[in-house]
A and B are shown apart, each in its own frame.
Chain A
Protein backbone atom coordinates (compact mmCIF):
# COMPACT_ATOMS: atom_id res chain seq x y z
CA UNK A 1 0.00 0.00 0.00
CA UNK A 2 1.41 3.33 -0.99
CA UNK A 3 0.08 6.78 -0.89
CA UNK A 4 1.53 9.71 -2.73
CA UNK A 5 -0.99 12.47 -2.38
CA UNK A 6 -0.50 15.62 -0.35
CA UNK A 7 1.96 14.12 2.17
CA UNK A 8 3.55 11.15 0.46
CA UNK A 9 4.76 8.38 2.72
CA UNK A 10 6.30 6.02 0.23
CA UNK A 11 7.68 6.61 -3.25
CA UNK A 12 5.28 7.13 -6.14
CA UNK A 13 7.03 4.93 -8.68
CA UNK A 14 5.20 1.68 -7.92
CA UNK A 15 5.44 -1.56 -9.83
CA UNK A 16 2.19 -1.57 -11.80
CA UNK A 17 2.36 -5.29 -12.48
CA UNK A 18 1.92 -6.26 -8.84
CA UNK A 19 -1.00 -3.95 -8.16
CA UNK A 20 -4.56 -5.22 -7.98
CA UNK A 21 -6.00 -1.78 -7.58
CA UNK A 22 -4.66 1.71 -8.23
CA UNK A 23 -6.20 5.13 -7.98
CA UNK A 24 -4.61 8.28 -9.30
CA UNK A 25 -5.70 11.70 -8.06
CA UNK A 26 -9.18 10.21 -7.95
CA UNK A 27 -11.96 12.65 -7.15
CA UNK A 28 -15.73 12.64 -7.01
CA UNK A 29 -17.98 15.66 -6.78
CA UNK A 30 -21.72 15.62 -6.07
CA UNK A 31 -23.05 18.88 -7.47
CA UNK A 32 -20.84 21.37 -5.60
CA UNK A 33 -19.58 19.18 -2.77
CA UNK A 34 -16.41 17.14 -3.14
CA UNK A 35 -17.01 13.71 -1.59
CA UNK A 36 -13.50 12.57 -2.45
CA UNK A 37 -10.43 14.51 -3.57
CA UNK A 38 -6.95 13.80 -4.74
CA UNK A 39 -6.96 10.16 -3.72
CA UNK A 40 -3.92 8.18 -4.85
CA UNK A 41 -3.62 4.61 -3.60
CA UNK A 42 -2.15 1.31 -4.71
CA UNK A 43 -3.20 -2.08 -3.37
CA UNK A 44 -0.87 -5.05 -3.97
CA UNK A 45 -2.01 -8.64 -4.50
CA UNK A 46 -3.20 -10.42 -1.40
CA UNK A 47 -3.38 -7.27 0.73
CA UNK A 48 -6.23 -6.86 3.18
CA UNK A 49 -6.96 -3.16 3.36
CA UNK A 50 -9.08 -1.60 6.06
CA UNK A 51 -10.66 1.70 5.07
CA UNK A 52 -11.60 3.72 8.16
CA UNK A 53 -13.13 7.09 8.68
CA UNK A 54 -16.14 8.79 10.25
CA UNK A 55 -19.51 8.82 8.55
CA UNK A 56 -19.45 10.96 5.44
CA UNK A 57 -15.68 10.64 5.05
CA UNK A 58 -16.03 9.35 1.48
CA UNK A 59 -15.56 5.62 2.14
CA UNK A 60 -18.62 4.49 0.21
CA UNK A 61 -17.84 6.93 -2.61
CA UNK A 62 -14.32 5.51 -2.97
CA UNK A 63 -15.57 1.91 -2.98
CA UNK A 64 -18.32 2.67 -5.50
CA UNK A 65 -15.75 4.34 -7.77
CA UNK A 66 -13.63 1.17 -7.53
CA UNK A 67 -16.47 -1.14 -8.60
CA UNK A 68 -17.74 1.21 -11.32
CA UNK A 69 -21.04 2.11 -9.69
CA UNK A 70 -20.00 5.77 -9.89
CA UNK A 71 -18.06 7.54 -12.65
CA UNK A 72 -15.15 9.63 -11.32
CA UNK A 73 -15.28 13.41 -11.64
CA UNK A 74 -11.51 13.54 -11.97
CA UNK A 75 -8.48 11.25 -11.86
CA UNK A 76 -8.47 7.55 -12.68
CA UNK A 77 -9.08 4.10 -11.22
CA UNK A 78 -7.42 0.96 -12.53
CA UNK A 79 -8.74 -2.34 -11.28
CA UNK A 80 -6.86 -5.50 -12.29
CA UNK A 81 -5.05 -3.33 -14.84
CA UNK A 82 -8.18 -2.09 -16.62
CA UNK A 83 -11.28 0.02 -16.14
CA UNK A 84 -13.61 -0.87 -13.27
CA UNK A 85 -16.26 -1.75 -15.84
CA UNK A 86 -13.99 -4.27 -17.58
CA UNK A 87 -12.88 -5.67 -14.23
CA UNK A 88 -16.47 -6.22 -13.09
CA UNK A 89 -17.38 -7.86 -16.39
CA UNK A 90 -14.50 -10.28 -16.05
CA UNK A 91 -16.08 -11.52 -12.82
CA UNK A 92 -12.79 -11.19 -10.98
CA UNK A 93 -14.11 -8.58 -8.55
CA UNK A 94 -16.60 -9.39 -5.81
CA UNK A 95 -18.55 -6.56 -4.19
CA UNK A 96 -20.85 -6.41 -1.20
CA UNK A 97 -22.59 -3.05 -0.92
CA UNK A 98 -23.48 -1.25 2.29
CA UNK A 99 -26.43 -2.83 4.15
CA UNK A 100 -25.75 -6.02 2.14
CA UNK A 101 -28.67 -5.63 -0.30
CA UNK A 102 -30.38 -8.81 -1.48
CA UNK A 103 -33.74 -9.46 -3.17
CA UNK A 104 -36.22 -9.70 -0.29
CA UNK A 105 -38.67 -11.77 -2.34
CA UNK A 106 -36.13 -14.31 -3.60
CA UNK A 107 -35.02 -17.32 -1.59
CA UNK A 108 -31.46 -18.23 -0.66
CA UNK A 109 -31.49 -20.87 -3.41
CA UNK A 110 -32.82 -18.27 -5.89
CA UNK A 111 -29.90 -16.03 -5.03
CA UNK A 112 -27.43 -18.80 -5.76
CA UNK A 113 -29.08 -19.42 -9.15
CA UNK A 114 -28.92 -15.68 -9.71
CA UNK A 115 -25.18 -15.70 -9.04
CA UNK A 116 -24.83 -18.41 -11.67
CA UNK A 117 -26.92 -16.58 -14.27
CA UNK A 118 -25.06 -13.32 -13.73
CA UNK A 119 -21.55 -14.85 -13.72
CA UNK A 120 -21.83 -17.81 -16.08
CA UNK A 121 -18.08 -18.08 -16.61
CA UNK A 122 -16.71 -17.99 -13.07
CA UNK A 123 -19.48 -19.33 -10.89
CA UNK A 124 -18.65 -22.11 -8.43
CA UNK A 125 -22.13 -23.53 -7.90
CA UNK A 126 -21.03 -26.46 -5.74
CA UNK A 127 -18.88 -24.21 -3.56
CA UNK A 128 -21.72 -21.72 -3.11
CA UNK A 129 -24.13 -24.49 -2.11
CA UNK A 130 -21.66 -25.96 0.37
CA UNK A 131 -20.94 -22.59 1.90
CA UNK A 132 -24.60 -21.82 2.41
CA UNK A 133 -25.11 -25.27 3.93
CA UNK A 134 -22.13 -24.88 6.25
CA UNK A 135 -23.39 -21.49 7.47
CA UNK A 136 -26.84 -22.95 8.11
CA UNK A 137 -28.76 -20.69 5.70
CA UNK A 138 -32.03 -22.46 4.83
CA UNK A 139 -32.15 -22.64 0.98
CA UNK A 140 -35.93 -22.20 0.85
CA UNK A 141 -35.96 -19.10 3.07
CA UNK A 142 -36.73 -15.74 1.46
CA UNK A 143 -33.86 -13.27 1.88
CA UNK A 144 -36.27 -10.75 3.41
CA UNK A 145 -36.80 -13.07 6.37
CA UNK A 146 -33.12 -13.73 7.08
CA UNK A 147 -31.37 -12.06 10.03
CA UNK A 148 -28.91 -9.25 9.29
CA UNK A 149 -25.97 -11.59 9.80
CA UNK A 150 -27.45 -14.27 7.56
CA UNK A 151 -28.16 -11.73 4.85
CA UNK A 152 -24.59 -10.45 5.04
CA UNK A 153 -23.37 -14.05 4.70
CA UNK A 154 -25.62 -14.61 1.69
CA UNK A 155 -24.32 -11.45 0.00
CA UNK A 156 -20.76 -12.48 0.79
CA UNK A 157 -21.40 -15.96 -0.65
CA UNK A 158 -22.51 -14.34 -3.91
CA UNK A 159 -19.32 -12.29 -4.00
CA UNK A 160 -16.97 -15.14 -2.99
CA UNK A 161 -18.38 -17.83 -5.29
CA UNK A 162 -16.93 -16.00 -8.29
CA UNK A 163 -13.50 -16.73 -6.77
CA UNK A 164 -12.58 -13.07 -7.12
CA UNK A 165 -9.06 -11.66 -7.19
CA UNK A 166 -10.36 -8.57 -5.42
CA UNK A 167 -13.11 -8.46 -2.83
CA UNK A 168 -14.65 -5.08 -1.99
CA UNK A 169 -16.85 -4.85 1.10
CA UNK A 170 -18.65 -1.68 2.17
CA UNK A 171 -19.26 -1.73 5.94
CA UNK A 172 -20.19 -5.39 5.78
CA UNK A 173 -20.51 -5.74 9.55
CA UNK A 174 -22.29 -2.48 10.37
CA UNK A 175 -25.58 -4.19 11.13
CA UNK A 176 -24.11 -7.13 13.07
CA UNK A 177 -23.71 -7.62 16.81
CA UNK A 178 -20.10 -7.74 18.12
CA UNK A 179 -19.93 -11.53 18.17
CA UNK A 180 -21.30 -11.99 14.65
CA UNK A 181 -19.08 -9.12 13.54
CA UNK A 182 -15.94 -10.86 14.68
CA UNK A 183 -17.05 -14.20 13.22
CA UNK A 184 -17.96 -12.65 9.87
CA UNK A 185 -14.67 -10.78 9.52
CA UNK A 186 -12.56 -13.79 10.55
CA UNK A 187 -14.45 -15.99 8.15
CA UNK A 188 -14.10 -13.49 5.29
CA UNK A 189 -10.40 -13.07 5.81
CA UNK A 190 -9.91 -16.83 6.05
CA UNK A 191 -11.74 -17.32 2.76
CA UNK A 192 -9.73 -14.53 1.12
CA UNK A 193 -6.32 -15.62 2.34
CA UNK A 194 -7.00 -19.20 1.28
CA UNK A 195 -7.32 -18.06 -2.33
CA UNK A 196 -4.92 -15.12 -2.23
CA UNK A 197 -7.75 -12.67 -2.80
CA UNK A 198 -7.04 -9.02 -2.03
CA UNK A 199 -9.69 -7.38 0.15
CA UNK A 200 -10.70 -3.76 0.58
CA UNK A 201 -13.23 -3.30 3.36
CA UNK A 202 -14.57 -0.20 5.00
CA UNK A 203 -15.62 0.25 8.59
CA UNK A 204 -15.95 3.04 11.07
CA UNK A 205 -14.60 0.90 13.90
CA UNK A 206 -10.81 0.79 14.12
CA UNK A 207 -11.08 -2.20 16.43
CA UNK A 208 -12.38 -4.29 13.53
CA UNK A 209 -9.19 -3.76 11.57
CA UNK A 210 -6.33 -4.37 13.87
CA UNK A 211 -6.31 -8.13 13.89
CA UNK A 212 -7.34 -8.85 10.30
CA UNK A 213 -5.92 -6.16 8.03
CA UNK A 214 -2.48 -5.87 6.54
CA UNK A 215 -2.93 -2.21 5.57
CA UNK A 216 -4.96 0.72 6.80
CA UNK A 217 -6.27 3.75 4.94
CA UNK A 218 -7.70 6.59 6.98
CA UNK A 219 -10.19 8.79 5.15
CA UNK A 220 -11.66 12.01 6.52
CA UNK A 221 -13.43 14.89 4.84
CA UNK A 222 -12.99 13.25 1.45
CA UNK A 223 -9.19 13.11 1.74
CA UNK A 224 -6.74 10.33 2.49
CA UNK A 225 -5.14 11.11 5.88
CA UNK A 226 -3.03 8.02 6.20
CA UNK A 227 -2.19 4.99 4.08
CA UNK A 228 0.24 2.51 5.57
CA UNK A 229 0.94 -1.13 6.32
CA UNK A 230 -0.14 -2.20 9.78
CA UNK A 231 2.96 -3.09 11.74
CA UNK A 232 1.90 -1.96 15.19
CA UNK A 233 -0.20 -3.38 18.01
CA UNK A 234 -3.99 -2.87 17.94
CA UNK A 235 -3.82 -0.30 20.75
CA UNK A 236 -1.08 1.64 18.96
CA UNK A 237 -3.02 1.46 15.68
CA UNK A 238 -6.11 2.91 17.30
CA UNK A 239 -4.04 5.77 18.72
CA UNK A 240 -2.44 6.52 15.34
CA UNK A 241 -5.76 6.45 13.50
CA UNK A 242 -7.52 8.64 16.04
CA UNK A 243 -4.57 11.02 15.90
CA UNK A 244 -4.98 11.33 12.14
CA UNK A 245 -8.75 11.78 12.39
CA UNK A 246 -8.30 14.37 15.14
CA UNK A 247 -5.93 16.32 12.97
CA UNK A 248 -8.49 16.22 10.17
CA UNK A 249 -11.11 17.74 12.46
CA UNK A 250 -8.80 20.52 13.62
CA UNK A 251 -7.63 21.25 10.08
Chain B
Protein backbone atom coordinates (compact mmCIF):
# COMPACT_ATOMS: atom_id res chain seq x y z
CA UNK B 1 0.00 0.00 0.00
CA UNK B 2 2.81 2.36 0.83
CA UNK B 3 3.95 2.02 -2.76
CA UNK B 4 0.93 3.92 -4.02
CA UNK B 5 1.50 6.53 -1.33
CA UNK B 6 5.18 6.77 -2.32
CA UNK B 7 4.25 7.16 -5.96
CA UNK B 8 1.72 9.88 -5.13
CA UNK B 9 4.13 11.68 -2.83
CA UNK B 10 6.97 11.85 -5.34
CA UNK B 11 6.45 15.47 -6.43
CA UNK B 12 6.02 16.69 -2.84
CA UNK B 13 9.16 14.87 -1.81
CA UNK B 14 11.19 16.49 -4.57
CA UNK B 15 9.88 19.93 -3.63
CA UNK B 16 11.02 19.33 -0.05
CA UNK B 17 14.41 18.05 -1.18
CA UNK B 18 14.96 21.14 -3.37
CA UNK B 19 13.82 23.48 -0.57
CA UNK B 20 16.12 21.82 1.98
CA UNK B 21 19.00 21.86 -0.48
CA UNK B 22 18.56 25.62 -0.94
CA UNK B 23 18.54 26.17 2.83
CA UNK B 24 21.58 23.91 3.22
CA UNK B 25 23.45 25.82 0.50
CA UNK B 26 22.69 29.15 2.20
CA UNK B 27 23.78 27.73 5.55
CA UNK B 28 27.06 26.35 4.22
CA UNK B 29 27.76 29.57 2.33
CA UNK B 30 27.16 32.00 5.20
CA UNK B 31 28.02 30.16 8.41
CA UNK B 32 31.84 30.35 8.09
CA UNK B 33 31.61 34.16 8.16
CA UNK B 34 29.92 34.11 11.58
CA UNK B 35 32.40 31.59 12.93
CA UNK B 36 35.37 33.66 11.75
CA UNK B 37 33.84 36.91 12.97
CA UNK B 38 33.01 35.39 16.36
CA UNK B 39 36.55 34.02 16.75
CA UNK B 40 38.08 37.34 15.75
CA UNK B 41 35.90 39.24 18.23
CA UNK B 42 35.94 36.88 21.15
CA UNK B 43 38.68 34.32 20.70
CA UNK B 44 37.90 31.11 22.51
CA UNK B 45 35.27 32.62 24.82
CA UNK B 46 31.83 32.08 23.20
CA UNK B 47 29.99 34.29 25.68
CA UNK B 48 31.96 37.50 25.34
CA UNK B 49 29.86 40.71 25.01
CA UNK B 50 30.97 41.34 21.40
CA UNK B 51 28.80 38.36 20.37
CA UNK B 52 25.72 40.48 21.01
CA UNK B 53 26.98 43.01 18.48
CA UNK B 54 27.60 40.26 15.96
CA UNK B 55 24.08 38.92 16.49
CA UNK B 56 22.66 42.43 16.01
CA UNK B 57 24.65 42.90 12.79
CA UNK B 58 23.06 39.76 11.41
CA UNK B 59 19.61 40.29 12.90
CA UNK B 60 17.87 40.32 9.50
CA UNK B 61 19.36 37.00 8.40
CA UNK B 62 18.62 35.50 11.80
CA UNK B 63 15.00 36.66 11.68
CA UNK B 64 14.63 35.32 8.15
CA UNK B 65 16.03 31.93 9.16
CA UNK B 66 13.70 31.85 12.16
CA UNK B 67 10.76 32.71 9.94
CA UNK B 68 11.59 29.82 7.61
CA UNK B 69 11.51 27.41 10.55
CA UNK B 70 8.26 28.89 11.85
CA UNK B 71 6.56 28.84 8.44
CA UNK B 72 7.70 25.34 7.41
CA UNK B 73 5.10 23.55 9.59
CA UNK B 74 2.37 25.76 8.12
CA UNK B 75 3.47 24.83 4.61
CA UNK B 76 3.66 21.14 5.50
CA UNK B 77 0.17 21.24 7.00
CA UNK B 78 -1.32 23.14 4.07
CA UNK B 79 0.43 21.38 1.19
CA UNK B 80 1.02 17.86 2.51
CA UNK B 81 -1.63 17.38 5.19
CA UNK B 82 -4.68 19.15 3.78
CA UNK B 83 -4.62 17.63 0.25
CA UNK B 84 -3.73 14.12 1.48
CA UNK B 85 -7.35 12.98 1.58
CA UNK B 86 -9.17 16.10 0.30
CA UNK B 87 -7.59 15.73 -3.16
CA UNK B 88 -8.91 12.16 -3.35
CA UNK B 89 -12.41 13.40 -2.56
CA UNK B 90 -12.15 16.18 -5.15
CA UNK B 91 -10.95 13.83 -7.89
CA UNK B 92 -13.39 11.10 -6.82
CA UNK B 93 -10.48 8.66 -6.53
CA UNK B 94 -11.47 7.74 -2.96
CA UNK B 95 -14.20 5.69 -4.66
CA UNK B 96 -11.46 3.86 -6.53
CA UNK B 97 -9.15 3.02 -3.61
CA UNK B 98 -11.83 2.42 -1.00
CA UNK B 99 -13.45 -0.30 -3.09
CA UNK B 100 -10.34 -2.50 -3.36
CA UNK B 101 -9.29 -5.40 -1.14
CA UNK B 102 -7.28 -3.10 1.06
CA UNK B 103 -9.18 -1.53 3.97
CA UNK B 104 -9.46 2.20 4.44
CA UNK B 105 -7.48 2.14 7.64
CA UNK B 106 -4.56 0.41 5.96
CA UNK B 107 -4.83 2.79 3.04
CA UNK B 108 -4.59 5.74 5.43
CA UNK B 109 -1.79 4.05 7.36
CA UNK B 110 0.22 3.75 4.14
CA UNK B 111 -0.29 7.41 3.34
CA UNK B 112 0.58 8.44 6.90
CA UNK B 113 3.71 6.30 6.93
CA UNK B 114 5.06 8.02 3.83
CA UNK B 115 3.96 11.62 4.34
CA UNK B 116 4.43 11.46 8.12
CA UNK B 117 8.00 10.20 7.80
CA UNK B 118 8.69 12.93 5.23
CA UNK B 119 7.28 15.50 7.66
CA UNK B 120 9.57 14.36 10.47
CA UNK B 121 12.64 14.15 8.25
CA UNK B 122 12.02 17.53 6.59
CA UNK B 123 11.25 19.46 9.76
CA UNK B 124 14.08 17.82 11.73
CA UNK B 125 16.61 18.56 8.98
CA UNK B 126 15.46 22.14 8.62
CA UNK B 127 15.56 22.79 12.36
CA UNK B 128 18.96 21.09 12.68
CA UNK B 129 20.37 23.16 9.80
CA UNK B 130 19.11 26.47 11.20
CA UNK B 131 20.06 25.62 14.79
CA UNK B 132 23.59 24.76 13.68
CA UNK B 133 23.79 27.82 11.41
CA UNK B 134 22.72 30.21 14.16
CA UNK B 135 24.73 28.61 16.97
CA UNK B 136 27.57 31.19 16.82
CA UNK B 137 24.98 33.99 17.12
CA UNK B 138 22.64 32.34 19.60
CA UNK B 139 24.79 32.61 22.74
CA UNK B 140 22.67 34.35 25.32
CA UNK B 141 19.53 34.15 23.18
CA UNK B 142 17.90 31.83 25.71
CA UNK B 143 14.20 31.46 25.07
CA UNK B 144 14.07 34.23 22.45
CA UNK B 145 14.41 31.69 19.63
CA UNK B 146 12.66 28.87 21.52
CA UNK B 147 10.16 27.99 18.76
CA UNK B 148 12.67 28.23 15.92
CA UNK B 149 15.36 25.85 17.15
CA UNK B 150 16.03 22.31 18.31
CA UNK B 151 13.18 19.80 18.57
CA UNK B 152 9.94 21.79 18.89
CA UNK B 153 9.64 22.49 15.12
CA UNK B 154 9.19 18.73 14.59
CA UNK B 155 6.19 18.78 16.93
CA UNK B 156 4.70 21.81 15.17
CA UNK B 157 5.17 20.16 11.76
CA UNK B 158 3.58 16.84 12.75
CA UNK B 159 0.70 18.66 14.43
CA UNK B 160 0.11 20.83 11.35
CA UNK B 161 0.24 17.75 9.12
CA UNK B 162 -2.31 15.89 11.24
CA UNK B 163 -4.48 19.00 11.40
CA UNK B 164 -4.43 19.23 7.60
CA UNK B 165 -5.39 15.57 7.30
CA UNK B 166 -8.33 15.94 9.69
CA UNK B 167 -9.47 19.20 8.07
CA UNK B 168 -9.35 17.54 4.64
CA UNK B 169 -11.51 14.69 5.89
CA UNK B 170 -14.06 17.08 7.33
CA UNK B 171 -14.27 19.60 4.47
CA UNK B 172 -13.52 17.16 1.62
CA UNK B 173 -12.11 20.17 -0.24
CA UNK B 174 -8.46 21.13 -0.42
CA UNK B 175 -8.69 24.94 -0.23
CA UNK B 176 -10.95 25.19 2.84
CA UNK B 177 -8.85 22.47 4.48
CA UNK B 178 -5.72 24.54 3.86
CA UNK B 179 -7.33 27.63 5.37
CA UNK B 180 -8.55 25.66 8.40
CA UNK B 181 -5.07 24.20 8.86
CA UNK B 182 -3.36 27.59 8.87
CA UNK B 183 -5.93 29.11 11.24
CA UNK B 184 -5.86 26.06 13.52
CA UNK B 185 -2.07 25.97 13.69
CA UNK B 186 -1.91 29.67 14.59
CA UNK B 187 -4.59 29.21 17.27
CA UNK B 188 -2.86 26.14 18.72
CA UNK B 189 0.53 27.86 18.83
CA UNK B 190 -0.93 30.88 20.65
CA UNK B 191 -2.99 28.72 23.02
CA UNK B 192 -0.03 26.53 23.99
CA UNK B 193 2.27 29.53 24.44
CA UNK B 194 -0.26 31.39 26.56
CA UNK B 195 -1.94 28.67 28.60
CA UNK B 196 -0.09 25.36 28.44
CA UNK B 197 3.54 26.46 28.79
CA UNK B 198 2.95 28.26 32.12
CA UNK B 199 1.61 24.97 33.57
CA UNK B 200 4.79 23.06 32.85
CA UNK B 201 6.95 24.53 35.61
CA UNK B 202 6.15 27.06 38.34
CA UNK B 203 8.20 30.17 37.61
CA UNK B 204 10.91 31.33 39.99
CA UNK B 205 10.34 34.61 41.77
CA UNK B 206 12.84 37.34 42.68
CA UNK B 207 12.08 40.51 44.59
CA UNK B 208 14.05 43.73 44.13
CA UNK B 209 13.55 47.26 45.38
CA UNK B 210 12.14 49.80 42.93
CA UNK B 211 15.16 51.61 41.47
CA UNK B 212 14.44 55.29 40.61
CA UNK B 213 17.42 55.38 38.24
CA UNK B 214 16.17 52.51 36.14
CA UNK B 215 12.40 52.83 36.05
CA UNK B 216 10.39 54.40 33.24
CA UNK B 217 6.75 55.16 32.57
CA UNK B 218 4.66 53.97 29.66
CA UNK B 219 2.89 50.94 28.30
CA UNK B 220 4.02 47.67 26.92
CA UNK B 221 2.61 44.45 25.55
CA UNK B 222 1.88 42.66 22.33
CA UNK B 223 -0.17 44.19 19.53
CA UNK B 224 -1.84 40.81 18.88
CA UNK B 225 -2.70 40.06 22.49
CA UNK B 226 -3.42 43.61 23.64
CA UNK B 227 -1.35 46.31 25.28
CA UNK B 228 -1.59 47.26 28.92
CA UNK B 229 -2.36 50.62 30.48
CA UNK B 230 0.44 53.10 31.06
CA UNK B 231 2.22 52.41 34.33
CA UNK B 232 5.67 52.30 35.88
CA UNK B 233 8.09 50.12 33.93
CA UNK B 234 10.97 48.88 36.08
CA UNK B 235 14.05 47.64 34.30
CA UNK B 236 14.11 43.89 33.74
CA UNK B 237 16.72 42.36 36.08
CA UNK B 238 19.78 40.78 34.55
CA UNK B 239 18.98 37.06 34.47
CA UNK B 240 21.08 35.41 31.75
CA UNK B 241 19.15 33.14 29.35
CA UNK B 242 16.00 33.43 31.45
CA UNK B 243 12.46 33.69 30.15
CA UNK B 244 10.99 36.65 32.04
CA UNK B 245 7.27 36.04 32.48
CA UNK B 246 6.22 39.08 34.45
CA UNK B 247 7.66 42.17 36.11
CA UNK B 248 5.21 43.73 38.56
CA UNK B 249 5.31 46.61 41.00
CA UNK B 250 3.56 45.51 44.22
CA UNK B 251 3.08 46.83 47.75
CA UNK B 252 3.99 45.10 51.02
CA UNK B 253 0.75 43.07 50.91
CA UNK B 254 1.50 41.86 47.39
CA UNK B 255 -1.17 43.94 45.65
CA UNK B 256 -0.24 45.45 42.30
CA UNK B 257 0.36 49.17 42.08
CA UNK B 258 -2.92 50.76 41.01
CA UNK B 259 -3.31 53.69 38.69
CA UNK B 260 -5.08 55.50 41.56
CA UNK B 261 -2.16 55.14 43.96
CA UNK B 262 0.24 56.17 41.22
CA UNK B 263 -1.72 59.36 40.44
CA UNK B 264 -2.24 60.19 44.09
CA UNK B 265 1.50 59.92 44.77
CA UNK B 266 2.62 61.60 41.57
CA UNK B 267 -0.05 64.12 40.51
CA UNK B 268 2.26 65.68 37.93
CA UNK B 269 2.82 62.45 36.00
CA UNK B 270 2.23 62.74 32.23
CA UNK B 271 -0.99 61.08 31.20
CA UNK B 272 1.02 59.74 28.30
CA UNK B 273 0.79 59.97 24.54
CA UNK B 274 0.94 63.75 24.35
CA UNK B 275 4.64 64.52 24.53
CA UNK B 276 6.89 64.69 21.49
CA UNK B 277 8.92 61.64 20.55
CA UNK B 278 12.53 61.51 21.66
CA UNK B 279 14.32 61.81 25.01
CA UNK B 280 12.21 63.39 27.72
CA UNK B 281 13.29 66.83 29.01
CA UNK B 282 15.43 66.91 32.17
CA UNK B 283 12.61 68.37 34.31
CA UNK B 284 10.23 65.57 33.38
CA UNK B 285 12.87 62.98 34.13
CA UNK B 286 13.56 64.53 37.54
CA UNK B 287 9.83 64.50 38.30
CA UNK B 288 9.60 60.83 37.39
CA UNK B 289 12.72 60.06 39.46
CA UNK B 290 11.17 61.68 42.55
CA UNK B 291 7.87 59.95 41.89
CA UNK B 292 9.47 56.50 41.63
CA UNK B 293 11.43 57.18 44.82
CA UNK B 294 8.18 58.04 46.67
CA UNK B 295 6.40 54.95 45.30
CA UNK B 296 9.44 52.84 46.20
CA UNK B 297 8.95 53.63 49.89
CA UNK B 298 5.84 51.43 49.90
CA UNK B 299 6.40 49.21 46.86
CA UNK B 300 8.91 46.78 45.41
CA UNK B 301 9.37 44.81 42.18
CA UNK B 302 8.46 41.14 41.83
CA UNK B 303 9.87 39.30 38.82
CA UNK B 304 8.70 35.84 37.79
CA UNK B 305 10.90 33.94 35.34
CA UNK B 306 11.93 30.57 34.01
CA UNK B 307 15.66 30.06 34.41
CA UNK B 308 17.75 29.21 31.37
CA UNK B 309 18.55 25.69 32.56
CA UNK B 310 14.88 24.72 32.07
CA UNK B 311 15.17 25.32 28.30
CA UNK B 312 15.29 21.62 27.44
CA UNK B 313 12.47 20.77 29.87
CA UNK B 314 10.32 23.23 27.99
CA UNK B 315 11.49 21.94 24.60
CA UNK B 316 10.53 18.35 25.47
CA UNK B 317 7.20 19.35 27.00
CA UNK B 318 6.28 21.54 24.03
CA UNK B 319 7.20 18.68 21.68
CA UNK B 320 5.12 16.24 23.75
CA UNK B 321 2.08 18.55 23.79
CA UNK B 322 2.09 18.97 20.01
CA UNK B 323 2.74 15.27 19.42
CA UNK B 324 -0.23 14.47 21.64
CA UNK B 325 -2.33 16.91 19.62
CA UNK B 326 -1.16 15.28 16.39
CA UNK B 327 -1.99 11.82 17.78
CA UNK B 328 -5.50 12.90 18.76
CA UNK B 329 -6.11 14.38 15.31
CA UNK B 330 -4.92 11.22 13.55
CA UNK B 331 -7.13 9.17 15.87
CA UNK B 332 -10.09 11.35 14.96
CA UNK B 333 -9.27 10.94 11.26
CA UNK B 334 -9.24 7.13 11.61
CA UNK B 335 -12.52 7.18 13.52
CA UNK B 336 -14.16 9.37 10.89
CA UNK B 337 -12.85 7.24 8.07
CA UNK B 338 -14.22 4.04 9.64
CA UNK B 339 -17.56 5.53 10.54
CA UNK B 340 -18.16 5.98 6.82
CA UNK B 341 -18.38 2.21 6.28
CA UNK B 342 -21.33 0.04 7.09
Enumerate chain A interface residues (CB-CB to B < 8 A).
64-65, 67-72, 77, 83-85, 88-91, 93, 95, 97-99, 101-106, 110, 113-115, 117-122, 155, 158, 162
Contacts and interface: CB of A to CB of B under 8 A. Distances in A.
20 contacts: A65-B342, A67-B99, A68-B341, A68-B342, A69-B99, A70-B340, A70-B342, A71-B342, A85-B341, A85-B342, A89-B102, A91-B100, A91-B101, A101-B95, A106-B8, A114-B4, A118-B1, A119-B100, A122-B101, A155-B96
Which 9 interchain pairs have the tightest Cβ spacing? A101-B92, A97-B95, A118-B100, A91-B101, A95-B99, A119-B101, A71-B342, A101-B93, A118-B102
A99 B90 CA distance: 12
B342 A83 contact: yes
B202 interface: no
Main secondary structure of the interface of B (DSSP, over half): loop
Contacts of A68: 98-99, 341-342
Interface in B80-100: 91-93, 95-100
Given A69-B95, A77-B342, A103-B91, A88 B101 contact: yes
Contacts, number: 84
Interface string B36-54: 0000000000000000000
Nearest to B96: A101
B104 to A, nearest CB: 9
Contacts of A64: 95
A206 B8 CA distance: 39
Contacts of A158: 96
B33 interface: no
B342 A102 contact: no
Contact of A117 (B4, B98, B341): B4
A21 to B, nearest CB: 14
Interface of B: 1, 3-4, 7-8, 11, 91-93, 95-103, 339-342
A68 B1 CA distance: 20
A85 B339 CA distance: 12
B99 A71 contact: no
A218 to B, nearest CB: 24
A31 B283 CA distance: 73
A118 B92 contact: no
Given A71-B342, A110-B7, A117 B99 contact: no
A117 B3 contact: yes
Given A85-B103, A89-B101, A118-B100, 15 more contacts: A67-B99, A70-B342, A71-B340, A71-B341, A72-B342, A85-B341, A85-B342, A91-B101, A101-B92, A103-B93, A104-B91, A114-B4, A117-B1, A117-B102, A118-B102
Given A90-B101, A97-B95, A101-B95, A84 B342 contact: yes
A77 B3 CA distance: 32
Residue of B4, B7, B93, B95 with highest tally of chain A CB at under 10 A: B95
A68 B338 CA distance: 11
A70 B92 CA distance: 14
B8 A89 contact: no
